[in-house]
Every structure is written in structure tokens, then in C-alpha cells.
Structure 1
């Protein structure tokens, strides 16, 4: 599918080229029209145009200037310049502006079709090169380490993927198949002198530690390397078991290899590192829990001590800590979901939070407190991020918040949360509607005041400080009318009014509604009403002259 845009201030040229040339014969599926360079830029901002055919000499902005803007903003769009002048300087300047071809008017249909067909073929070859499997594979290989690390970081922080999606991602990144396998985590904290390094120096050290780990653990282990938010190195390690290997022997081997990793940091990198080895779990189900346990052990058992190797043992039941509500901290967080306006996903997250609370009856008072603070914090963050006081957004729910955790059951907290989230959502949707109404009014006032000037989508966007595509979509959504159709209708309505109620000349009316050439206005007005401006005036206001 290919799309073509024809640009000329002479309406009859645009109509002839768009309607009479058999474009479908060479694979053109849509032909768009523009009667000025400004209107062409508006079209380009709304649609994906493959080829632009434009006249060189147009009032306001020439075809050469248009082709230069297209080259800067839409690098894959090709331009063909048309001109009735055969001076070589035009062709030379056109080539400097990166145009695909230059043709003299009047151009025969066969020559025009052949030129466009040739450019379309060149475009196809360009896109084939861009999307070639070899290029994609090369780019993927170059970014594999970062992509692998990012995925592991997301998983240890609790981001959820379906089993099939995660397996697909891991396969795409060339990761070992851990699914359903026992594994452990290694948490490596780089210490002196590394914490004094700049970002580049530290990145080189981390890269070196990753390479050393691969040398030491391969081929006895599957290894997946990443980095957490605390700048600790994280290794997911799964033993490749041989016949007769016992779990105890595998654990001892893992501890010896971890100690070798620490020794290598001493010997080759001249620094210190603490290495924590988690208990065993099943991938991916236990990944986040193992990470949390290793992090907790680093905090409680190691603290400020340095250069240790430590295996995290199972806690005896009587010493078990109160476990946090894990779904409160999954990525993206509840606050992030609210900020992005993902209300459905936020509701699903809250369902999981309260479902988890229902399973933890023995610790319910502590966990209700934790959940209450987290939900209230997310609501406050959302309100303040939008420049609003929370009290104004959630109404009566704010008074209960000030009372300080007045909830003693999961259902009470859930009811309060539903009320708060409902208020947030309702207020936001109302605010969005009000904001859109004001935007439409601003756009309409701008167009009405400047109908004789530049009222292109680009000019409107600059006036309201928003992206042209957003304005176009919102205008259509709120009014049911395309912005370009609105401008066109307003011009025709104003022209009809002036024809019937003023003695202005036809060319004066044309200029007053934004047409620099009277004959262009005449052609457009006739297409709109079925009558020329003079015929319209004579028919409906016969007493007024032109």
C-alpha cells in the first residue's frame, strides 16, 4: 500500500492529477490533495505519505521550501517537483534539497507514472533493508547484555509475565531454559575501591565481573546476569546436574565457585566484594522471594562488614518474620499505574492485594497498616503529581485518612480504597472532559480570528502548544468533524455570507478567507456549492453587484 500527496495552489492541476491519472495501475492506494505547502505539511503530520508531488512556485511557501521541510521531518518521504520553467537552476537546487525527481509541466501521464513507479521501487528496497532479518538480528545481538539484565531486574522486582510470554522473551534473548528448574541467586556487592569509581569505570568493572562469572560457572551451571536498583550484581544460577549428583554436593560446588569469584575480584580487579548465595527455589516462581531474602540477609547479617561470602539459610519457623504484601510492590507499582491512567490494571492490582491480604489472617493488623499506607501514598502521589490537593479529589475519604488507619478488617479497607479510587477516577475524567472542551474552544476561536491567514494544523498546534496529531484526534473525537473539514466549511460559510451581504469583489472575498488566488477560490467554491461565486451571488442576492 502506497500513499501519494499532490500539492499545487492551482486547484485544477490538483484535481486533474488526482482524478484522471490511473495511479492504481502502479500500486498507489490513496491520493491526497493539498492546495498550499502549509496544507501539505498538515496532511503529512496526520498521514503516512510515501511520495509528494509538488509545484515549485506557490505563494507563501515554495515547493523547494516544502521539500526541505519534508526532508528534515519525514526522511522516508520522497518528493517530486513540478515546474513550468525549464531553467537548470531549479533542477540543481531541487537535487540539493534531496528531491527524488524533477519534472517539467505539463508532464505526460506515462512519464509521471513511470517516475512515481521507479521511486516506489526504490522506497520498497529501502524498507526491505531496514526490516531485514539480518539487520534486526545484528541489532539484537549488540544489545543482548542490556536486554537480558533489564528483564532479570524486572523479574526480581516482581513484574509479572505469563509463563508463555516469559519463555518467549527468554528464548528471543538466547537465555538458558530455567523453567521448572531448581536454581539459586548470587547477590554481589562490589566494595572498596569500586564505590569511588565514576560511572564508566564502574561499568567496566561490572562487565569484567560478569565475564569472570561466566568463565567460572560454565559449563557446570546455567547463568543469567543482571543488576538491581541498588547497583548490586545479580546472578541466577542453575546447576546442570549429572548422574548421581546430590543436592548437597551441588550446593557445596556452588559455594566453592562463589568463593572463586570473590578471589578473582581480589586478584584481577584489585578490589573487594561480598557474595551472598540464596537458598534454592524453583524458577520463575521463587525468583522474587529469593531476591528479597538475599537482600534482607545482606542488610541484617552483613551490614557494613565487607568482603564476605555467605549462604542464606532457611529461617526456622519460630524465627520467621512478618512477610510483606508482595503485590503492593510489583512493577509497575500502583502509583505508576495511576499516573499512567491505567485504571483497569490498577483495579486488577488492588484485587490481587486484597486477595493476598485475605490469606494472611495471623498477621492481618500489621499488613492492613502496610497496605493502607501504600494505597494512601499512591493516591497522594497521583493527586500531587497532577497539581491537586488529595482532599479535593477524594472528598469524605480524606477525613478517614486523617484519622489514621481506622480499619480493622480487609473488607473495611477495601471499601475505603474503592471509594478513594472511584473519586480519583471520576474527578480525573471530569477534568479531562473540561480540558478538552476548552481546547476545542481555543482552536475554534483561533481559526475564526485568523481565517485569512495561516490556519494549518501546524499553526494551530503552535498556538495551543500541543502536538498536531493529538489536536486532530481530539477535535474529531469531541466534535465528530475533521479539523480540516471544519476549516474548509468555515471558509465556505463565510464566503457565502460575504457574497450575499457585502459588495466585496470576488478576489477580495477570496483573500479574506485565505485564498491567495481568486481562481483557486472559484474552483473550490463551485465544487462546494455547485455554483461559481458570481452565480451564487446572482441567484441568491440578485440586487447586489460584484
Structure 2
């Protein structure tokens, strides 16, 4: 998915180019429109843009000045200039500043389309060419030094850390982060392994993902990568020491965080294309102090373990909090010492139903002489403790009391046999999995309904993927995949269907003029509305009205 921003102070040119690119380009694209340089800057401050097609002579700001603003915000953005003037001075200046092409308006649609296709190809090559670097770094850097990793794992688990002792530890372990500056947290997960079976293969993949992130954010951040689960890790980030943000007495993090979030979508794409690994990310809304790091970490990680977080290739922010809450300090009960019961808890958290019940049946299959022994007693209450831990951490205790007889759960003697007790625990586990999936399904339903309601009531307004993503706290690229996976069709297709349905409804009202109907369903000019309607129905709006009048 590539985002293209068209900038020109002539509305008819912007609208025409937008329609042409949507129809003629084979690549999957989102097209955004700006009718002035200031409006273009608003888009650039709002989302990552991959390609800008801009007029070079505009009233408020020249295209060259806009190009400098683009590079400052999104260094990898490709700029194509479009102008009615063949001016060698402008051409030379644009090329020096990094423009990839310069197209005269008189050259027509084919030349413009060719320039955009060239920009897309360059963007694809940048991702592909990073493969050699990624592989080299992955094999050289076998692991993060053990002591450094253990120290940061302890911080994530809530170990107290004062700035003075933290500074000494950072110097000792050669940590690049500033112990006195807040950190920005980005949690990541490899959703599926690419035929990686051994722990060493998986470790290499984890570090390859880290290397991709470092490459895309080079110069913009200093980061520390911590692997805390077999498929999950977290990055702690700060601006470089020489950056004005790091030096500011009261720093404004918004632009820096926006850049990181926009780059994460490219990192996700690179992981999929280069490593063949689908990855998910959850970004913090704001930086956090070291004293609050453990709380922030638990909140981010918990989002991977319930509701929509159980999906794949997601990109969320912690502004989107799943129903069911997040674990707080001291919310967990004491865990069982049995390693396999710990695995049960892990599989339950991750909604890995098959692995959970396979392990459950293995550990609860006891010989007849052991079924009445203290081993059965220990095993039963270990599983019960795990279940209570789960209920407490996800604030489910109150809602399950009507469905799970807790008195029977806490007493092995209430069961007639070990097999009866085992079946009861299995039934309780089934209920927990069912509830977990119900929460996810409800969240999915709520997101889709909110999108549909908004689209239906804003047909003449901003229905860009960026706006819809902001509405439901999802990243635009993830929203596009999420919607298609959930509904079976693209979100742009749903918008078109909704516009068509509303247009047909309004065309049955003879007092409304056709151009007024076009405006109401999101088409600024009658020709665009007529072309859309004919494409969808093989009829013009007037022909439809005549047939149904």
C-alpha cells in the first residue's frame, strides 16, 4: 500500500489526477488531495506519505519549499514535480533537492502515470535492497549481551530503578539511552514463523526484525531492543543526544512520535517482503518515565493477548484499550511451580487453544494409583491457581461466578473422581477460551459498526483511510487489512457501495438536482458523479431516474 499526495492550487487538476491514478495504476494505493501547500503540510503532519505529486508554482509556498518540508518530515518520500513551465532553473533545483522526476502538464496522463510508477518502483527497490544488509547484520549480531538483557528484563518486571543507580548501570553496560530522559515504547510480535523451528533460528529472525527497524529509523532514534518472549519484544526509544528534542527543557514529542509510527508501517512491510514474517506492533501514545516503564510495558503486552490483539499484522496504539482491562501491579496471584502449568497459563493468555488442550490432556492423564494421591491434589490446585490468576488479571471474576461454580472449583473433594475433576477443569477452560474470543469478536463488531455508521453519515466529508483509522485508533495500513479480513471486501469498496446506495435513494426524489445529489454523496463535480454511477450501474444518473421515476 502506497500513499500518494497530489498538491495543486487548481482543484480541477487535483481531482482529475486523483481519479486517473486510482483507475490506471496497478499498485495498491491511497490517494490524498491537497488544494494548497498549507493543506499538504497538514496531511504530512498527520500521516506518512510515500509519494508527493506537486505543482512547482503555488501562491503560499513554492514546490521547492514544499519539497524541503517533505524531506524534513518523511526523508524516504519520493517527490515528483508537475508544472506548466519548462524552466531549467527549477528543474536543476528540484533534482538537487532529491526530486525523482519533473513532468510537464502538457505531457498528459501517460507521462504522469509513468513518473508515479517510477516512484513506486524506487520505493520497492529500497525495501528489496535492504535484504543484504539485514542478513549480514543478523548473522554477525548473534545476541544482545546477556547482562544487558537481564538488566532490562528486570526493569520491565518492575525492579526499582533510581536515576543515580540507573546511570551507573547504563555506563557499565554501555547502554546508549539517557537514564534521565523518558523513553518511548514500541512492542512487537512475530505472528508466524517462516519455517523457523529451532530456538537459534527464531532468535536470528528476532534480531533481523530489530535490524530492519534500526535501518529504517537510522539517525532519528537511539533504541534498545529487548526480547522477553519467544515471539515478542519491545523497543525503548529516545531521540539522539544531538537532537533538539533531547535538549529541550519541555520537549514536544508529537512530531517525533508521528515519524516513528509512520515508519513502523514501512518496517512491517519490509519484514513481510524480505523476511517473509508477518509482524504486529503496538505503539505507546506518549513517552514514559523509567519509574513507570513496567506499568507501560504490561499495558502494551496485554494488548497482544486479548481481543483484537489476537489477530495478525496489526498495528495499534495503546489509545485503543481492549475490553477487559490491563494487568495492574499486584494483580497476579502466585503462580504454580509446575513448568507445564505455567505453559498452560501462557497458552491461555495467547489464545492458543490447540496447544492449551493438548498440554492439558497430557498433564491431567494420571495413572489410577496416582489419581487419588497428593500428586493429583497438587496438580488440581496448581491448575485452579492458574485459572484464578487468569480471572484476576483480566478482571473476569465477577462475570464468571454465574457460569462457573466457584465452590466446586476450589474443592477437589466436590468431584466424585479424578476423571470428573479433569472434565470439570476442561469445561472451565473451554468457557475461558469462549469468553476471550467473544471479547475479540465484540471489539471487531464495534469497530466495523463505528466505521459503517461514520461512513454513512459523512459521505460528503473526509473518508480517507487516514481519517477512518484515527476514528478507531488503528494504523491506516492495518485498518485496510483488518477490514478486508473481517468483512471480505475492501473499505474503499464499501464506501463506493454506500455512496451508490445513497445516490439511488436520492435519485428517486425528483425535486433534487443531479449535481446536488453528487455533492451529498461525495462527488464535487457532476462529471465525476456521472462517471462513478455509470461505472457501477452501466447507467447515467438521469437514465436511472428515468427508468425508476
CA distance in 2, matches of 1:538, 1:437: 39
Q: Does the 8 Å CA contact 1:12/1:523 hold for their aligned counterparts?
A: no
Report the Cα distance in structure 2 between the residues aligned to 1:353 and 1:64, rounded to whole angstroms.
68
1:525 aligns with 2:548: no
- Distance in 2, matches of 1:392 and 1:83, equals 66
Alpha-carbon distance, 1:421 to partner: 0.8
Q: How many Å apart are 1:488 and its aligned residue?
A: 0.8
In structure 1, the residue matched to 2:353 is 343
TM-superposed CA distance for 1:120, in Å, is 6.1
Quote the RMSD (CA, aligned, Å): 5.3
Q: Is the Cα contact below 8 Å between 1:9 and 1:520 reproduced in 2?
A: no
Asked if 1:137 corresponds to 2:162, the answer is no
Residue 419 of structure 1: how far off its partner (Å): 0.8
Pick one of 340, 345, 357 that aligns with 1:327: 340
- Normalised by the length of structure 2, the TM-score is 0.51
Q: Deviations over 1:95-124 (max 9, x none)?
A: 799653332213267755775676566546
> Is 1:78 aligned to residue 91 of structure 2?
no
Q: Which one of 468, 478, 489 corresponds to residue 497 of structure 2? A: 489
CA distance in 1, matches of 2:524, 2:401: 51
Alignment pair present for 1:30 and 2:30: no
Matches within 5 A, 1:35-114: 36=33, 78-84=78-84, 99-107=99-107
Structure 2 unaligned blocks of 5 or more:
7-11, 154-161, 175-227, 229-335
**TM-score normalized by the length of structure 1:** 0.52
Larger Rg: 1
CA distance in 2, matches of 1:484, 1:65: 33
1:353 aligned to which of 343, 352, 363? 363
Change (3 A) 1:50 1:104: same
- Secondary structure at the aligned position of 1:514 is classed as coil
| Alignment: residue pair count | 364
SS in 1 for 2:103: strand
For 2:140 and 2:387, the matched residues in 1 are separated by: 41
1:416 alignment partner in structure 2: 424
- The structure-2 alpha-carbon separation of the partners of 1:394 and 1:445, relative to structure 1 and needing over 3 Å to count, comes to same
Contact 1:443 1:460 in 2 (8 A): yes
Show the counterpart of 1:146: 145
Report the secondary structure of 1:30's partner residue: coil
SS at match of 1:504: coil
CA drift at 1:34: 4.1
Q: Using the alignment, how far apart are the partners of 2:405 and 2:93 within structure 1? A: 68
Q: Do structure 1's residue 198 and structure 2's residue 168 form an aligned pair? A: no
Change (3 A) 1:502 1:384: farther
8 Å contact 2:2–2:50 — kept in the other structure?
yes
The 3-state SS of whatever aligns with 2:511 is: coil
Paired with 1:95 and 1:383, the residues of 2 have a C-alpha distance of: 61
Match of 1:440 in 2: 448
CA 388–470 in structure 1, closer or farther in 2 if over 3 Å, else same: farther
1:420 Cα shift? Answer: 0.6
Q: Distance in 2 between matches of 1:65 and 1:535?
A: 48
**In 1, Cα distance between the equivalents of 2:125 and 2:57?**
31
Instruction: Summarize the alignment of residues 279-294 of structure 1 with structure 2, pairs less than 5 Å apart.
Output: none
The change in CA–CA distance for 1:478 and 1:116 in structure 2 (over 3 A counts) is closer
Seen in structure 2, the aligned counterparts of structure 1 residues 70 and 487 have a Cα distance that, compared at 3 Å, is farther
Residue 3 of structure 1 contacts residue 31 of structure 1 at CA under 8 Å; is this kept in 2? Answer: yes
In structure 1, what is the Cα distance between the partners aligned to 2:519 and 2:505?
Answer: 15
Q: Quickly say closer, same or farther: Cα 1:65–1:325, change in 2 above 3 A.
A: farther
2:453 counterpart SS class: helix
Q: How far apart are the structure 2 equivalents of 1:119 and 1:335?
A: 48
Quickly say closer, same or farther: Cα 1:475–1:372, change in 2 above 3 A.
Answer: same
Compared with structure 1, are the counterparts of its residues 123 and 31 closer, same or farther at alpha carbon in structure 2 (3 Å cutoff)? closer
Deviation of 1:33 after TM superposition, in Å, equals: 7.0
Once the two structures are superposed, the pairs formed by residues 366-445 of structure 1 within 5 Å of their partners are 366-389=374-397, 392=400, 395-403=403-411, 406=414, 410-445=418-453
In 1, Cα distance between equivalents of 2:143 and 2:28: 42
C-alpha contact (below 8 Å) 2:81/2:102 kept by paired residues = yes
Q: Which whole-Å deviations, capped at 9, do the CAs of 1:151-177 have from their partners, x for residues lacking one?
A: 9x99xxxxxxxxxxxxxxxxxxxxxxx
2:143 aligned counterpart, secondary structure: helix
